[in-house]
Structure 1
Amino acid sequence: MQLRGMATVSFWAADLDAAKNWYADLLGVEPYFVVRDGEGRPAYYEFRLGDYQHELGLIDRRYAGDVPEAPGGSILYWHVDDLAAAVRELLAAGAREHQPITERGSGTGFVTASVIDPFGNILGVMSNPHYLDILPESRRPS
């Protein structure tokens, strides 16, 4: 088995339309894909993000089964070019701090932070030099 890259990260939301609007405002892009239930209500929204068009899916919590309500488990970190600015923007948009900005290894350049979105999901952001190393030259920030 070879893990080839992140395909989709899924977040749950009891108020799916509010989550869709929050993320659309935060990201500056509307979801490109919607799945509706048998009654025509949105059940899933999907955004494509970043340099590799990774997928962020928002799923109606009624389909969560036994997924706990409280934030927990793994954190997926999205690379950002300005970590402090990203954290400020997330907090200003209504997220709350989960983990503060934290250097991971002295002088390595790996710095993380995470917030809990208004819907109870953990959203990680990170300065990651490895991400920039593998990013094609044409896509690197100037």
Structure 2
Amino acid sequence: METILRGLTTVSFYASDLEEAKKWYTDFLNMEPYFNVPGYIEFRIGDYQHELGIIDSKYAPGGATERPGGAIVYWHVDNVQATLDKLLSSGAILHQPLIDRSGGKGDFVTASVVDPFGNILGIMTNKHYLAILNTQK
């Protein structure tokens, strides 16, 4: 059987001030982008080196940068509260507070923010992510 969606490759955010977005994400992620061309920067992050691309908003489809909306991509983090605190202290705005989606077990805890450039950034602790990661070691 063919696998239709094989995995996350690149999450693309838009920013009207690409240099400021580069600085903000470099500070938050504690790393420089690995790819940098006019109008686009890209970070490789996490256990599987997923790509977070930041695109100059002049290249965005019409209406895409007017307000936060649409799908939320959640990135697994080891400590949701600490990561949320870091994002908020860096200037992000709370979009959705901490929510335990596992009925109080702490297996799936999410939160999301709107970055200073209008993009929704989701964070979560996810026991299934950790289980898959442990099979890869």
TM, length-normalised to structure 2: 0.92
1:6 to 5, 8, 19: 8
Amino acid in the other structure paired with 1:60: D
CA deviation map 1:111-137 (0-9, x unaligned): 100000000000000010000000036
CA–CA distance in 2 between the matches of 1:85 and 1:55? 22
Q: Look up the SS of the partner of 1:136 in the other structure.
A: helix
CA–CA distance in 2 between the matches of 1:68 and 1:46? 19
CA–CA distance in 2 between the matches of 1:103 and 1:63? 36
CA–CA distance in 1 between the matches of 2:61 and 2:73? 21
Would you identify which runs of 4 or more consecutive aligned residues in structure 1 move more than 4 Å? none
- Quote the sequence identity (%): 59
Which residues of structure 1 form unaligned runs of 5+?
Answer: 36-41
Amino acid in the other structure paired with 1:19: A
2:74 to 72, 77, 85: 77
Q: Which residue of 2 aligns with 1:101?
A: 98
Measured on the aligned residues, the alpha-carbon RMSD in Å equals: 1.4
CA–CA distance in 1 between the matches of 2:49 and 2:136? 15
* Cα displacement (A) at 1:59: 0.1
- Matched length: 133
